[in-house]
Structure formats: structure tokens, C-alpha cells
Amino acid sequence: MKLNNAVIGVVLLVFSITLMIHVSLGWDWLAGTGFTGFPRAVPGRPGPALFPFCLGILFAISSLLLIAQGLREATPWLELSAWFTSRPSLLNAVAIIAAVIAYQAASDALGFLPLAVLLLFGLMKLLRVRTLTAVITSAACALFIHTLFVKFLLVPLPWGVLEPLAW
């Protein structure tokens, strides 16, 4: 799938305006409850909103350049690639999105390790990987990722049904 630069520029412009509103005003100003953005800076010193606001300005400038370039080009707004019309490729893309949604929905109850093994195994079987290879690879990858995040990066992952075995 290929998008015209003008389409990407419009999306980037909306993002940059949203970013600048968020850091400067917050969102409660829409309801009239006052300022809830980033903390106000001491006069004469940069505050915490300076860097994100400057990024928003740079994004806005970049988006305007992309919009101008996209309008000058004679390309279609959206061009679908061959994989987008291929049924197996589209099924694989939908399966990845469904796996992410399933992880989000069931990770607290089941835990990272069992759910990761199940999802990886299912995705590998969808790609026609042999069963023994899929079982070993999904278990090894899930265990490696869990150990990396929990022990080395100190990111807590849900244990779920394996809570009694937590290390």
C-alpha cells in the first residue's frame, strides 16, 4: 500500500497540532476546567513543554512540506500493493492484529508466558511451520523474551496462572 505524500502530511499535521495543544494547554480546557498541560516554566527558563512543543513545530513544518510535495505529484492518493489483494497475505496481516488484541485482552488473566507460547505457536502454524519446530521455537522465544524483560530490563510482565511459579 502506498500513500501520497499529501495524505501522510495531513496525518502528521494533525499529530503536530495535537502535540502542541497537549503540551501547552492540556485537554481539560475544552471543558472549561482550566490548564492541565505540562507544568508552567519559571520566566526566563525553559520548562518541560519546550522540547515537545519544538518537536510539534518541526513536525508541522515537515508536514506542510510533505503536503506541498504530494499536491505537486501526479500520483494517486492511495495505491494498493499486490499483497493487499492476496488472500493468504491479508489473512496473515489480520492474524497479527488479532494476536495483539488477544494478548491485550487476556494477558492479565493468563500471563505473558502461556499466552505468548500459544500466540506464537498459532502464528507459526498459520505460516505452515512444522508442529515440533513451532512448539520448540515458540516456547524458547517466549521464555527468552520474558527473561530479557523481567530480569535485565526490569519491565514487569503479567504472570497470570503462573503466579505461584514466579521467580
Closest CA to 9 of 68, 81, 75: 68
Write out the three cell numbers for 104: 491485550
Quote the CA–CA distance of 18 and 52 in Å, as a whole number.
11
Cell 502461556 -> residue: 114
The whole-number pLDDT of residue 1 equals: 65
Residue 147 main-chain phi, psi, to 5 deg: -65, -45
Alpha carbon 9 to chain centroid, angstroms: 19
Look at residue 26 in the predicted model and tell me its pLDDT.
Answer: 62
pLDDT at position 69: 94
Q: Tell me, what's the pLDDT at 86?
A: 82
What letter would DSSP give residue 47? -
Domain assignments of the chain as residue spans, ordered by start: 2-79, 82-165
Which pLDDT value is given to residue 144?
A: 97
User: What is the average per-residue pLDDT within 120-130?
Assistant: 96
| Verdict on whether the full-model pTM lies above 0.75 | no
> What is the average per-residue pLDDT within 8-22?
92
pLDDT of 33 reads 61
State how far the Cα of 118 lies from the Cα of 129, in Å rounded to an integer. 14
pLDDT in tens, 140-151: 999 999 999 999
Residues whose CB is less than 8 angstroms from the CB of residue 53 and which lie 6 or more positions away in sequence, other chains included? 19, 20, 23, 24
pLDDT of res. 17: 94
pLDDT band for 23, please (50, 70, 90 cuts).
confident
pLDDT interval class at 37 (50, 70, 90): low
Q: Using one digit for the tens of pLDDT, what is the confidence trace for 51-91?
A: 888 999 999 999 999 999 999 988 888 777 777 778 888 89
